[in-house]
């Protein structure tokens, strides 16, 4: 069973429909207690970091997710869900994240590329990640974001993507913690394979 956290800032319907299409049982709930017994948890996200982390904290999801990870459960963050896993974000002020992956969330700055990044872009795999099994390097995924993650340890980086004059971290794998900056639920066959790989790991 894949648990999809509803904390008021997620693209829940598309994520649930993607798992349904794959024949993978998934549930959506706004009650952190419903996570009990689920080995796989997905933290989707769209919107602003500050409001989202406040919602996670107020709903009890922050503590429940930390406990889930501590007991060896697997976690997948999508887009804003990935950013919320890091230590801090500079989006509209300074905000503290869940600190599951040490690092910071920074805004793209570019004089040549239009921000936010909206559309398809390729990834360069940095290690043999569970998420990208059966996928070729330089696969394309769909991105929508103005901020990017910068983990402290390069060992946590599973993939990078070129945008705004830099290679930024577009995927993370750290023990049972996984995260992608792109939207797998909107990324055709490659995105579905990422969700399939997460559910099977």
Query: Is the separation of the CB atoms in 191 and 182 below 8 Å?
Result: yes
Tokens of 33: 């207690």
Query: Is the separation of the CB atoms in 129 and 173 below 8 Å?
Result: yes
CA distance 84 to 68: 16
For residue 46, the model assigns a pLDDT of: 87
- How many alpha carbons fall within 13 Å on the CB side of residue 25? 3
Average pLDDT over residues 102-121: 94
pLDDT (tens digit per residue) in 132-188: 999 999 999 999 999 999 999 999 999 999 999 999 999 999 999 999 999 999 999
Cite the beta strand spans of 124-165 per DSSP E: 124-125, 140-145, 147-151, 157-163
For residue 56, the model assigns a pLDDT of: 94
CA distance 136 to 89: 31
32 burial (CB, 10 Å; 0-12 / 13-18 / 19+) is buried
93 burial (CB, 10 Å; 0-12 / 13-18 / 19+) is exposed
- Which fold does the domain 2-200 belong to in CATH? Rossmann fold (3.40.50)
Residue ranges per structural domain of the chain: 2-200
Residues classed as catalytic: 79, 183, 185
Encode burial over 110-141: b for 16+ CB neighbours within 10 A, e otherwise. Answer: eeeeeeebeeebebebbeebebbeebeeebbb
Whose tokens are 């598309």? That residue is: 14
Query: Is the separation of the CB atoms in 48 and 89 below 8 Å?
Result: no
Q: Is 21 left (phi over 0), alpha (psi -120 to 50) or beta?
A: alpha
Average pLDDT, the chain: 95
pTM (2 decimals)? Answer: 0.96
pLDDT for 40 beyond 90: yes
Tokens of 102: 């040490």
């Amino acid at each position: 069973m894949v648990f999809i956290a509803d904390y008021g800032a997620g693209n829940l319907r598309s994520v649930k429909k993607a798992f349904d299409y794959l024949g993978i049982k998934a549930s959506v709930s706004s009650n952190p207690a419903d996570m009990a017994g689920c080995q796989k948890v997905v933290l989707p996200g769209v919107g602003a970091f500050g409001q989202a982390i406040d919602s996670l904290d107020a709903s009890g999801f922050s503590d429940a997710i930390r406990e889930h990870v501590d007991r060896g459960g697997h976690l997948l963050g999508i887009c804003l869900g990935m950013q919320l896993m890091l230590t801090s974000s500079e989006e509209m002020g300074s905000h503290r994240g869940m600190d599951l992956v040490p690092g910071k969330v920074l805004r793209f700055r570019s004089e040549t590329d239009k921000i936010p990044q909206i559309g398809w872009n390729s990834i360069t795999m940095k290690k043999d990640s569970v998420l990208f099994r059966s996928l070729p390097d330089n696969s394309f995924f769909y991105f929508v974001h103005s901020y990017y993650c910068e983990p402290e340890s390069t060992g946590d980086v599973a993939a990078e993507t070129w945008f705004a004059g830099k290679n930024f971290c577009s995927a993370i794998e750290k023990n049972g913690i996984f995260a992608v900056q792109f939207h797998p639920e909107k990324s055709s066959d490659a995105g579905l394979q990422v969700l399939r790989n997460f559910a099977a790991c």
